[in-house]
Structure 1
């Protein structure tokens, strides 16, 4: 195995690791609740963009968004300014999910399909439209309005079962299926056409000095760079790659059989693929570690002080019935009576899970009842 192939496998290994870790985190969130395990929204940079208006306007984060989400957002913006859409190509777990299904598709069909260019060129603008729509409604509602339509959120809730997904994330679940099937056929389907965060990074990357440069004299016209580009950029016929679509996955450089034909260029400095990948990952995770050490990286809500009373609107789905009673400063028996909860329902039952005992139970209706007192 040559050096470039080894780097390819290391990159895939890192993407697999990030996907596995975030999948475990999503599972833990469902098991332990938002008070003990971060939600997928708190670990996604886009959550910060959705909550930016609330933070600027009121100085508070919207539900499920914390300071750690803002840190991730800032770090990925910095990466986009220095290394273009490298977060998408080297770190993003949802991008990794698509890429692995694309590899499966290539094994099955022995090739990767392409949407005709006349259609593809217009479909690429869809993600910018999605970006505008999501920002508009996020700022208008001051909440994570997109959550039910988010395929990544649906993926994180797979452990809750199909019935729960259909009830709470039907559109997101459908989009997740479309993304998986689309990626099997077309590679990085969501990244190309629907990802609003990819649209943000693409716009910011236009200000980046980083680019991939081609040495025409060394080119042997094998076209492997274009064939291996998951974003379908025509690398073979370009002198330099500065497209907003480039996710800096390094696959074009690593697929080139001629050393020095394709080069990563940061201003005038040439960077090897291994160094580029290392610098992006170190920048991202060292930023998180530094933020943690400074006490500004937080992905969980602060515990409610024993002497603090909460309102019905502040009840979270992950809270147990006992925690709800304590927060509202009411007796647990009184809480059960107000909400018609049978005595056999354990006090440790999470508020959102009461419906497992009482199918007709609605968290929103229960909050309304408690809020009238």
Structure 2
């Protein structure tokens, strides 16, 4: 009974965090379901029709950011909207645009990798009572890594790749089964890949949000929207008691207590700092320099997200244009198909 009352009090104290964790868990479970459905879709073709057919879930294309970036290049250069993996392109465009107005809300509310990373950090906190914060000099070395990775992809694809090459890639057998190849990578993982993932898991346990903070190029791309300085977390110095609660709870290691307004691309609009502040109205989200309720960012994000997905379905740019016959020809040989 005591633990129940403690839980209720915690939810009342931090309602946004309670909602965020429920949403994170829900989307992670949904993506596991998507993965399972896609595996069953693959098995149908891999077994030459022996296993029952299952509709391919378009949401799996959210895990194909490189293909989506090539599709952006083709769309900008030629006006061609990729219909091989259209959902991937729609999702990339939406998430990057959302970063301009709502910071990296995707990262703190929806991304399954971010959820797992955050969960590993909480597990470590329970087991070892603390997490390791890299020294300043090491953080300065680590922070640029994700931007260098992002620069590599932007230069290689958006800048250097000719439009006709982007079109050729999108129509290639490799791209047509890139979702299958991505799944097979995780099912039949090499020892090297497994070791790298295990290292990242360990690092995420001992360094808060290691992957998200230092290595994720997708999050880095979304975070660039913060450079427009439309959305921020404003601190009121006159009422601040310098308790540093905001800085301690920040999953990105931002020194919130030292800033007048947080505009950094690292901020994910998770609202942990806002709810950790003991003094009302000392930390608040601002959009276009106007203070808004702490529920605004997630409410607008998810309203826009479901609206965009619904519109994409109505416009016929959500489901792939690939036919059953094309899948039957390519999927069984996905392992052998190269660039």
Question: Fold match, TM over 0.5?
Answer: yes
Secondary structure at the aligned position of 1:213 is classed as strand
Q: Is 1:351–2:332 an aligned residue pair?
A: yes
- CA–CA separation in structure 2 for the residues paired with 1:155 and 1:253: 38
Cα deviation for residue 271 of structure 1 reads 1.8
Q: Is 1:234–2:255 an aligned residue pair?
A: yes
Q: Is 1:80–2:89 an aligned residue pair?
A: no
Cα deviation for residue 234 of structure 1 reads 0.3
In 2 relative to 1, CA 53–122 (structure 1 residues): closer, same or farther, beyond 3 Å? same
Cα deviation for residue 363 of structure 1 reads 2.6
**Is there any run of 5+ residues in structure 1 with no aligned partner, and where?**
306-314, 328-349, 354-361, 368-373
The partner residue of 2:197 within 151, 164, 176 is 176
Q: Is 1:119–2:138 an aligned residue pair?
A: yes
Question: Which is richer in helix?
Answer: 2
CA deviation profile, 1:333-359 (whole Å, cap 9, x unmatched): xxxxxxxxxxxxxxxxx6148xxxxxx
- 2:266 maps to which residue? 245
The partner residue of 1:12 within 18, 21, 27 is 21
In 2 relative to 1, CA 44–214 (structure 1 residues): closer, same or farther, beyond 3 Å? same
Q: Is 1:302–2:322 an aligned residue pair?
A: yes
- CA–CA separation in structure 2 for the residues paired with 1:68 and 1:257: 42
> Which protein has greater RCO, CA pairs closer than 8 Å, 6+ apart?
2
User: Contact conserved, 2:233 with 2:283, CA < 8 A, in 1?
Assistant: yes
Cα deviation for residue 231 of structure 1 reads 0.5
Quick check: which has more Rg, 1 or 2? 1
Aligned length: 305
- 1:23 maps to which residue? 32
User: Contact conserved, 1:41 with 1:153, CA < 8 A, in 2?
Assistant: no
The partner residue of 1:91 within 92, 96, 110 is 110
In 2 relative to 1, CA 239–252 (structure 1 residues): closer, same or farther, beyond 3 Å? same
TM-score, scaled to structure 1: 0.72
CA deviation profile, 1:20-78 (whole Å, cap 9, x unmatched): 1112212222221298324776124734224323444566677x952211211221122
What is the Cα-based RMSD across aligned positions, in Å? 3.2
In 2 relative to 1, CA 28–294 (structure 1 residues): closer, same or farther, beyond 3 Å? same
In 2 relative to 1, CA 56–173 (structure 1 residues): closer, same or farther, beyond 3 Å? farther
- 1:330 maps to which residue? none
User: Contact conserved, 1:40 with 1:156, CA < 8 A, in 2?
Assistant: no
TM-score, scaled to structure 2: 0.79
Deviates most, 288-297 or 232-241:
288-297
The partner residue of 2:336 within 359, 363, 373 is 363
- CA–CA separation in structure 2 for the residues paired with 1:78 and 1:61: 17
User: Contact conserved, 1:154 with 1:173, CA < 8 A, in 2?
Assistant: no
- CA–CA separation in structure 1 for the residues paired with 2:312 and 2:121: 35
